[in-house]
């Protein structure tokens, strides 16, 4: 690359590499993965959703789910900080669709997160929840320049501040819940990274007149993919799937084995109870769901503001299904994945991935 590797700056925070290890719930990117990613020079991201499912606060029934979640988020950020060290950049991914979104964001900021990354809905009120933490960088996840513009206008009008960056995630390849309102939109060319990323870069430069970074997510596996994103104007990349199957990944070994075993025909789209499409491995649970005969666990914690299972008993309790996958229950779990899961052939270390991505990188600007 002629210009070298870009410098990624999120507000006051500058990781060594322009790389975000993406937040993956439930529990897939916990303290170990995020702490180690941050320690190795990336932004390490904890997914806040459902973190308390296996905490003593919740399991011993001393507290309800929401109260225990608030405590556990702070504990987990601190555990990650111990691994990352004081210089490591830690983010918490908070999903707008969660019932206790505001509490989760506040807990992440109070717990010491440097960055809040927030999607699965438009984070229109995010600055309100972090107003006492001006150093915490705020990074919405969007799938189009239109969404970036909506958020920016609202934040500027209401809170007098702008986002510190945008993650542009394409539904065509990403894992987890996808930023598309309908199944047909998943492969809409308008939401492809080739369109949405340069559009958002243009919006930032020409309309915001800003140099905040735009970060590309979805389908990035190796250095070639990453450099293509930089050529399209990204100042960084966010990667999920490849990091899920690492030694440091917080999920069970069985979860990682499911990634290793997955073939192209096993990767499917489902309608999630949250009303969004999602990408997952077609295991016995998903196969039954697609056939219309899934049996659900009971509702876990009223965790989503809009949940088809809670409202009408259609679909299934997604929190429980994701916890089952985290624990490695192949029969009953929902194994979210990106389309790159077919490239996972072994468990890697975070150091190997980052080393391979940035070997002999020449850095732009100040040559860090």
CB neighbours of residue 71 within 10 Å: 17
Q: Which of 103, 130, 144, 173 binds ligand FMN (CB under 6 A)?
A: 173
| Alpha carbon distance 368, 363 (integer Å) | 6
Draw the binding track, 174-203, toward ligand FMN (x: CB under 6 A; -: no contact): xxx---------------------------
Contacting ligand FMN within 93-122 (CB under 6 A): 93, 95, 119-120
Q: Does 324 bind ligand FMN (CB under 6 A)?
A: no
Strand 137-142 to 166-169 pairing: parallel
Shortest Cβ 311–ligand FMN spacing (Å): 21
Q: Which stretch binds ligand FMN (CB under 6 A): 70-78, 183-191, 336-344, 356-364?
A: 336-344
Instruction: Note whether 296 and 324 are within 8 A (CB).
Output: no
In the structure encoding, which two tokens stand for residue 340, read together? 């790159």
Q: Which is nearer to ligand FMN, 7 or 239 (CB)?
A: 239
- When asked if residue 239 is in the footprint of ligand FMN (CB under 6 A), the reply is yes
CB nearer ligand FMN, residue 24 or residue 84: 24
Q: Does 10 bind ligand FMN (CB under 6 A)?
A: no
**Residue corresponding to tokens 């996972």:** 344
Contact 11, 164 (CB under 8 A): yes
Give backbone dihedrals phi and psi of 2, rounded to 5 degrees, phi first.
-70, -40
Number of residues this chain uses to bind ligand FMN (CB under 6 A): 30
Please say which residue, 4 or 277, places its beta carbon nearer to ligand FMN.
277
Q: How far is CA 61 from CA 54, 214, 298, in A?
A: 11, 42, 17
Alpha carbon distance 325, 100 (integer Å)? 23
Secondary structure class of 319 (helix, strand, coil): helix
Q: Which residues bind ligand FMN (CB under 6 A)?
A: 22-25, 28, 47, 49, 93, 95, 119-120, 141, 169, 173-176, 217-220, 238-241, 244, 336-338, 340
């Amino acid at each position: 690359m002629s210009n070298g590797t870009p410098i990624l700056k999120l507000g006051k925070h500058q990781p060594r590499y322009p790389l975000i290890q993406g937040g993956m719930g439930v529990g897939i990117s916990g303290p170990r993965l995020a702490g180690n990613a941050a320690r190795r020079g990336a932004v390490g991201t904890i997914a806040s959703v459902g973190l308390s499912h296996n905490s003593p606060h919740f399991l011993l029934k001393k507290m309800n789910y929401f109260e225990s979640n608030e405590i556990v988020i702070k504990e987990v950020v601190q555990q990650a900080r111990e691994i990352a060290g004081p210089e490591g950049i830690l983010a918490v991914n908070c999903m707008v669709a969660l019932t206790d979104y505001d509490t989760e964001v506040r807990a992440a900021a109070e717990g010491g997160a440097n960055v809040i990354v927030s999607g699965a809905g438009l984070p229109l009120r995010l600055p309100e929840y972090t107003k006492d933490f001006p150093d915490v960088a705020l990074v919405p996840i969007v799938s189009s320049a239109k969404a970036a513009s909506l958020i920016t206008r609202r934040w500027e009008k209401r809170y007098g501040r702008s986002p510190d960056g945008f993650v542009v995630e394409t539904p065509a390849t990403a894992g987890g819940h996808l930023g598309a309102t309908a199944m047909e939109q998943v492969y809409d060319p308008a939401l492809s990274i080739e369109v949405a990323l340069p559009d958002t870069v243009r919006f930032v430069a020409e309309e915001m007149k800003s140099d905040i970074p735009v970060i590309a997510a979805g389908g990035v596996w190796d250095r070639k993919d990453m450099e293509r994103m930089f050529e399209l104007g990204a100042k960084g990349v966010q990667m999920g799937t490849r990091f899920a199957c690492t030694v440091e990944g917080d999920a069970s070994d069985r979860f990682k084995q499911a990634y290793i075993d997955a073939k192209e025909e096993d990767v499917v789209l489902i309608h999630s109870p949250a009303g969004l499409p999602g990408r997952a491995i077609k295991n016995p649970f998903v196969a039954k769901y697609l056939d219309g005969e899934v049996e659900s666990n009971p509702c876990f914690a009223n965790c989503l503001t809009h949940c088809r299972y809670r409202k009408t008993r259609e679909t299934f309790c997604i929190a429980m299904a994701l916890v089952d996958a985290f624990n490695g229950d192949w029969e009953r779990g929902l194994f979210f994945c990106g389309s790159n899961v077919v490239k996972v052939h072994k468990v890697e270390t975070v150091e190997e991935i980052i080393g391979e991505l940035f070997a002999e990188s020449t850095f732009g600007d100040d040559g860090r």
